[in-house]
Amino acid sequence: MIKYWYRRILIMILVFVVFVGGSYILIEEQRISLKQEVSGETYEDTMVIPGGMPVGIYLETDGVMVLGTESITGIDGMKYNPAEHLVKSGDYIVKFNGQEVTEKSQLIDAIRKLKGEDVVLTVKRKEEEIDIRFKCVKCGIDEYKLGIWVRDNTQGLGTITFLNADSTFGALGHGIHDIDTNELLNISDGTLYITSIKDIQKGESGSPGGMEGIIVYNNYNVLGTIRENTDVGIFGTVDRIDALFSDQEPVETAVKEEIEEGPAAIRCAVDGEIKEYEIEITGIDFYPGEINKGLTIEVTDQKLLEETGGIVQGMSGSPILQNGKLVGAVTHVFVNNPTKGYGIFIENMLKEAEN
């Protein structure tokens, strides 16, 4: 009888140990697996392919952008400014007499077909749409004018900053503003194009200089699509990754707290080939007045100084690397000292790319 109960007790203990031990092993394996998954996700999220290559940029505005108004001579010989004080620089004309307008040619065609002076412009001002009624000017038989200067696209050259695992790119580190109104452009679409650097105007005190590129706007040279124009850069998708990022190794990205004053490097292709050039991070502002001026930098690389004089227009977006990590991008140059400029924290660009 004693042996019977002894065996039962041993069996119960053995079952308990196997159950608890097995559960512990299962839980531990799940914990390790989860840790590996989390670590893997974190690793992928903080790894990007750095850029440095110049690209051609073409943007189409979301509507037709108003630059300003002007006086017009009517058929009676009198001067009129019909839209003055009604439309403002930076407004976007989205409808003309109820008809949707997305580009300047549509607006011109609608005006050409007018049969009377009364018009209604629907404009987007900030986030609000406003109907503006006024009389345009009759300048001849069946010829009318609004007296409004407009634009529906812009082109330029900039530098790619990074490509993430979703084929999303970030570039420039600052937004594209209209040259006349200085307003951030609201875009409906945009395209990246292959470009090659033709010439470089060296920067001097009072004149920052610039990169001059050759851009052929055809389908063969399309690299990708621009989706957003924001205060921290332009973002979109690269379709021809091999054309931009061949032989480029991914790097980790740094949060701003990891950045140190001292030696760093920028990547750019001022002579047609991507190279790293020595710079110095001379200032770090965690709470800058402008989001894309968190870093103050100075070019110290003699070769780059000889080629460009420092930072020139077109280098915006050039990746800044320190201790093997991508920490930011070049955004501005000091007009009175082209060897110095500003940069944006890369984490600000990454947050926008995630959105």
Burial (CB count within 10 angstroms: exposed 0-12, middle 13-18, buried 19+), residue 127: exposed
Query: CA 63 to CA 95: how far, in whole Å?
Result: 8
CB 337 within 8 A of CB 298: no
Q: Which residues make Cβ contacts (< 8 Å) with residue 9, sequence separation at least 6?
A: none
Residues 187 and 282 in one domain: yes
Does residue 338 sit within a domain?
A: yes
Among 91, 152, 178, 301, the one annotated catalytic: 301
Q: Which of 146, 169, 204 is the last residue of a domain?
A: 146
Residues 139 and 157 in one domain: no
Residues 261 and 206 in one domain: yes
- Whether residue 253 has pLDDT greater than 50: yes
Q: How high does pLDDT run on average in the chain?
A: 86
Which residue segment(s) compose the domain that 82 sits in?
71-146
Domain count, the chain: 2
Residues 304 and 249 in one domain: yes
Residue 182 confidence (pLDDT): 87
332 is catalytic: no
Look up the CATH number of the domain holding residue 122.
Answer: 2.30.42.10
Does residue 139 sit within a domain?
A: yes
The tokens describing 346, both together, are 């890369």
Percent of the chain scored above 70 by pLDDT?
A: 87
Residues 202 and 290 in one domain: yes
- Residue 216: pLDDT band by 50, 70, 90 thresholds? confident
Residues 192 and 256 in one domain: yes
Reference 264, options 341, 339, 328; nearest CA is: 328
Mean pLDDT of 16-32: 38
The tokens describing 309, both together, are 């004089």
Does residue 18 sit within a domain?
A: no
316 is catalytic: yes
- Residue 244: pLDDT band by 50, 70, 90 thresholds? confident
The more confidently predicted of residues 39 and 1 is: 1
Among 91, 152, 178, 316, the one annotated catalytic: 316
Residue 34 confidence (pLDDT): 28
The tokens describing 271, both together, are 């002579």
Residue 27 confidence (pLDDT): 31
Angle among Cα 144, 150, 151 to the nearest 5 degrees reads 140
- pTM attached to this predicted model: 0.81
Does residue 64 sit within a domain?
A: no
CB 102 within 8 A of CB 188: yes
Residues 102 and 242 in one domain: no
Q: Which of 85, 112, 146 is the last residue of a domain?
A: 146
Q: Which of 131, 146, 161 is the last residue of a domain?
A: 146
301 is catalytic: yes
